Chain A
Amino acid sequence: EVQLVESGGGLVQPGGSLRLSCAASGFTFTSYSMSWVRQAPGQGLEWVSLIDTTGGNTYYADSVKGRFTLSRDNSKNMVYLQMMSLRADDTAVYYCAKGGSSWFYFDSWGQGTLLTVSS
């Protein structure tokens, strides 16, 4: 059974930094892209970032480009989202999501971790 467990969320002041982690299990981690998708309170889904199977290629939404960095450790089945220069509009539940057989969709999701950016 695929399991994705996010951690690292919390309360951060504007301008601060935080790292989210996603622990993956139940599948061959090195065979799938991984992504983060966020959801602001009461709002819809917003794709944030994707990393390919080797970690050699990463992609970002314009809203986070230059501030967020996505990485993976294939030896530990872990994905990390380093977030800097945080703003109030980054407040959201952040979901870790596994790519499907192609990386165009997300076939498994974690339960999410809440990031609140506020002074």
Chain B
Amino acid sequence: EIVLTESPGTLSLSPGERATLSCRASQSVSSNLLAWYQQKPGQAPRLLIYGASRRATGIPDRFSGSGSGTDFTLTISSLEPEDFAVYYCQQSDSSSWTFGPGTRVEIK
């Protein structure tokens, strides 16, 4: 089973700053099988990015995904107040779907 590790665990930033979140896999992941989600307190997760770099419907272009192999990145170019949340990466492999432990983006 592929294990995903996200870093940092918590990112403390101010609105307007750039956020860079990392997701590392224990084995190579096909790029089209890596997704990112946002979750706010008390809410269901929301799909942001799929196929490593494709924005989901309605997602602002300040969110971007990149990477390949074992290293993937979610970038938020300029944080808006509504972007402070927990972010999870997720991969699919051999009929198994796994999530990373999450990165919390908090207001500094």
A89 CA to B92 CA in the complex, in Å? 24
* A44 lies within 8 A of B47 (CB): no
- Contact call A109/B96, Cβ cutoff below 8 A: no
Report whether B44 and A44 are in contact in the complex, using a CB–CB cutoff of 8 Å: no
Interface of A is mostly: strand
Asked if B67 CB lies within 8 Å of chain A CBs, one says: no
Given B45, B92, B98, which contacts A109 in the complex, CB threshold below 8 Å? Answer: B45
CA distance A107 to B45 in the complex (A): 9
Would you call B97 and A50 a contact (CB within 8 A)? yes
Contact with A along B73-108 (1 / 0, CB 8 A): 000000000000000101010011111111000000
Whether, in the assembled complex, A102 has its beta carbon less than 8 Å from a beta carbon of chain B, the answer is yes
Chain B neighbourhood of A45, CB < 8 A = 37, 39, 45, 88, 90, 99, 102
Task: For the complex, give the distance between the alpha carbons of A37 and B90 in Å.
Answer: 12
Q: Is the pair A59, B96 in contact by a Cβ cutoff of 8 Å?
A: yes
A112 to B90 CA separation, bound complex (whole angstroms): 19
Q: Considering the chains assembled together, what is the distance between the CA atoms of A104 and B92 in angstroms?
A: 5
CB pair B32–A104 under 8 Å, yes or no, is yes
B33 contacts the other chain (CB 8 A): yes
Q: How many residues of A contact B (CB 8 A)?
A: 22
**Chain B interface, number of residues (Cβ within 8 angstroms):** 24
Which residues does chain B contribute within 8 Å of A109, judged by CB atoms? 44-46
- A98 — nearest CB in chain B belongs to which residue? B47
Residue from B44, B88, B97 within 8 A of A35 (CB atoms): B97
List B contacts of A112 (CB < 8 A). 44
Q: Say whether B47 contacts A104, CB under 8 Å.
A: no
Partner of B50, one of A35, A61, A105, A108: A105
Option from B32, B43, B98, B102 in Cβ contact (under 8 Å) with A102: B32
What are the residues of chain B within 8 A of A106 when measuring CB–CB? 35, 37, 45, 47, 90
B 46-84 to A, binary, CB cutoff 8 A, 1 in contact else 0: 110010000011000000000000000000000000000
How far is A102 from B54 in the complex, measured between Cα atoms in Å?
Answer: 13
CA distance A26 to B46 in the complex (A): 17
Partner-B contacts on A (CB < 8 A): 35, 37, 44-47, 50, 59, 61, 95, 100, 102-112
